[in-house]
Amino acid sequence: MRQIPPGISGLTVDQMRRIQAELAPRVRVEDALGTVRWIAGVDVAYTETHAIGAAVLLDAETLEVAQEATAIRPLETDYEPGLLSFRELPAALDALAQLPEPDLVFCDGNGLAHPRRFGLACHLGVLTDLPTLGVAKSRYLGQHDVIAEPRGSWRPVLDAGDIVAHALRTQDGVRWVYVSPGHRISLDTATTWALRTATEARIPQPTRLADHLANRTRRER
């Protein structure tokens, strides 16, 4: 796994936005996955002073957990809208680096569905050169039509004329999620994987389990 340290300490908001603009052209919104045997989910929980990154590796066919890892890092930046990746990536990358390299990474957040088309899943994907997708619980930008009730129903999310995500209902009658490509994956393939792995709840298993691990680690500190 090629991992480039985020190097966010001391960066201003303008500098972080400039980094996003410089890295965004590297994003590949097309399928370059190969065989997906292992999938990972990453998420981050917070204390007042630290970020707790969690990464879970799952068998892509059975969704059984093969390995998990956590990492705790001091917070280096406050939350700023549109700059979440700078806050989350140090701990998330530290946790992910402890696992065998996955074939696909799920992020709890957005990818292309971002004002500069460079959300968390894009940032992580470009830094690691791994295929990534984002699954967000709420809409960050764009508009979409009404979604039918059955599992698997979806509508495109449009922002400034671009289709940046799919609003996808992963369980019958349950509120939808927002799926967007991060890197080396198309929107259609990202949507297929999100639905395929949402077997037990609204949120796909990779990020659902990473969320549980991050919050359990926070409680046990």
In DSSP notation, 38-83 reads EEEEEEEEE-SSEEEEEEEEEETTT--EEEEEEEEEE--S---TT-
H or E segment at 189?
helix 187-197
pLDDT of residue 8: 66
Tell me the three state secondary structure of residue 129: coil
Tell me the three state secondary structure of residue 205: helix
Full-model pTM: 0.93
pLDDT of residue 78: 81
Going by their DSSP bridges, the two strands 132-136 and 104-107 should be labelled as parallel
The answer to whether the beta carbons of residues 165 and 122 sit under 8 Å apart is no
pLDDT of residue 77: 81
Instruction: Give the span between the Cα atoms of 208 and 221, in whole angstroms.
Output: 20
* 105-162 residue pLDDT tens: 999 999 999 999 999 999 999 999 999 999 999 998 989 999 999 999 999 999 999 9
Architecture of domain 13-220: 2-Layer Sandwich (3.30)
As given in the structure block, the two tokens for residue 122 are 């894009």
Instruction: Give the span between the Cα atoms of 162 and 143, in whole angstroms.
Output: 11
As given in the structure block, the two tokens for residue 143 are 């508009």
pLDDT of residue 80: 85
pLDDT of residue 154: 96
For residue 30, give every residue at least 6 positions away whose Cβ sits within 8 Å of its Cβ, in sequence order, or none.
184, 185, 186
For the chain, the structural domain boundaries read: 13-220
pLDDT of residue 2: 47
Distances in whole angstroms, Cα of residue 143 to Cα of each of 87, 94, 156, 160, 162 = 26, 34, 8, 10, 11
Below-70 pLDDT ranges, the chain: 1-9
The answer to whether the beta carbons of residues 120 and 180 sit under 8 Å apart is no
Q: Which residues pair with 166 in a beta bridge?
A: 156, 179
pLDDT of residue 174: 94
The answer to whether the beta carbons of residues 61 and 81 sit under 8 Å apart is no
